[in-house]
Every structure is written in C-alpha cells, then in structure tokens.
Amino acid sequence: MHILLIEDDVEAAKFLVKGLRESGYAVDHAATGREGLERALAGKFDLIITDRMLPKIDGLEIIQQLRAAGLAVPVLVLSALGSVDDRIRGLKAGGDDYLTKPFAFDELLARIEALLRRHGRAGEPSRLQVADLEFDLLSRRVTRAGREIDLTVREQKLLEFLMRRTGQVVTRMMLLEGVWDLHFDPQSNVVDVHISRLRQAVDRGSDRPLIHTVRGAGYVLREEP
C-alpha cells in the first residue's frame, strides 16, 4: 500500500515516515501543501495523510481540490486544531478521518487500516488463495489448511507480493522495491532473512512447500505438482 504524507514539520515527518515504513507501507513525503497537491494529483496513492496547517496551500484546500478533480483517494487529516468545529470543517471539506495531535502512533495505524478496508479498490480481490494457503486482505488474516498464521505487517506485505505473482519468479530487487520501497540494493540479507521467516511460518507442518528458492534468480510462490 502506497501512502502520501504531506507534513511540513521536519521531525514529525521523519518520525511518521520511519514508523509507516517499518509497518510495511511505501511512503512518499511532501513538505509543502503545493508539493503535496501536485504529487497527489499526479500519483496513484492508496491513502493520503495531510497536516491541516501547511505553507502555500493548507490541508483542507488540498482535499477540496482533490475532490474537485474527481479523486476519491481516502484522506486522513492530522491537526493540532481539535475542536468539534475544526473536525467538522475537515470532514465537510472531503476528509475521510480527522486525528488530533498529539496522537498515539498505534491509533494512527488503526485508522489507516480502517480507511483502507473501507475504501477497498473496486474490482480487486478481497482474498488471495494458493493451494490451501488463504490471505483475507480485508481482515489481514492468513491461514494454511485452516491453521491461522501469525505474521508481522512486513511479512504480510511480503506474502501478499508473492501471492499476487503466483508462479512468477521475483528477484531480490523486485522485493526490495515492492515490499521495502528501496530502489537500490543495500547489500544486506534483509530479503533472505524475511523469506526464511515467512517460509517457516507458511510451510511449517506441511509436506507441500509453497515458497521456493530459484537459485541465481530469486523466489517463487507456487504449488508443486
């Protein structure tokens, strides 16, 4: 899932970008309202998080211009203005949720997940299945032969990436870009470590492994005949 964060406070932006990426989201950051609006109009994001008070163009005007352009992307407003009237203005401007600063990061994550569930893309599957492995994309519940599998957010994102490309060999670079939002190889074993953990969780107790290493090429998720 790809999030655009529009936040002019440097330290707040660093904290949010780091936390969201560690939670498995790809994040782009815009430091002004004008930059945020341009990127929102030009890019395809699953969610936009915007501060309300921004230089050049404020958060509510950004939302209004997005709605006027016909974009229905969900928008979460962050603001130190927390009165009832302020929250009503944010929602009437076209915002989908309004979170008052300061806030708990776990609450932000919960609100993001709720918005993404509520605004699931039309036509996209809500469930992925390969053999007896099932991934409910709405509840984020993963099961194998009825056994629930407990995965971290990053492991869920990795599994979703593989399941959406069932039978296709994916390279380390594809995984770094698609799961970690890195457009270069940091020369680390982060992919191999996470694949190993995911394989243990998914294939443990089964005599039919689904996650396979393709030597010299990458990894593939498929059911062997």
Q: What is the mean pLDDT of each run of 10 residues along the chain (225 residues)?
A: 90 92 85 92 88 89 90 90 84 89 90 83 69 88 94 92 91 88 77 95 92 94 87
Cα Dmax for the chain: 61
Tell me: do 6 and 107 sit in the same domain. yes
Q: What is the pLDDT of residue 122?
A: 40
Task: Decide if 99 contacts 76 (C-beta within 8 A).
Answer: yes
Q: Closest by alpha carbon to 142, among 68, 55, 96, 211?
A: 211
Q: What is the pLDDT of residue 203?
A: 95
Question: How many distinct structural domains can be found in the chain?
Answer: 2
Q: What is the pLDDT of residue 120?
A: 66
Q: What is residue 71's three-state secondary structure?
A: coil
* Helical segments of 43-131, H only: 59-68, 84-92, 105-118
CATH number of the domain that 159 lies in? 1.10.10.10
Q: What is the pLDDT of residue 205?
A: 85
Tell me: do 26 and 60 sit in the same domain. yes
Residue for token pair 């469930």:
127
Tell me: do 6 and 114 sit in the same domain. yes
Q: How far is CA 38 from CA 16, 29, 56, 63, 97, in A?
A: 21, 12, 12, 12, 21
Neighbours of 160 (CB within 10 A): 19
Task: Decide if 52 contacts 78 (C-beta within 8 A).
Answer: yes
CA 218 to the chain's CA centroid: 23
Q: What is the pLDDT of residue 49?
A: 96
Looking at the whole model, is its pTM more than 0.75?
no
Q: What is the pLDDT of residue 123?
A: 44
Domain end marker among 84, 118, 152: 118
Residue ranges making up the domain that contains 106:
2-118
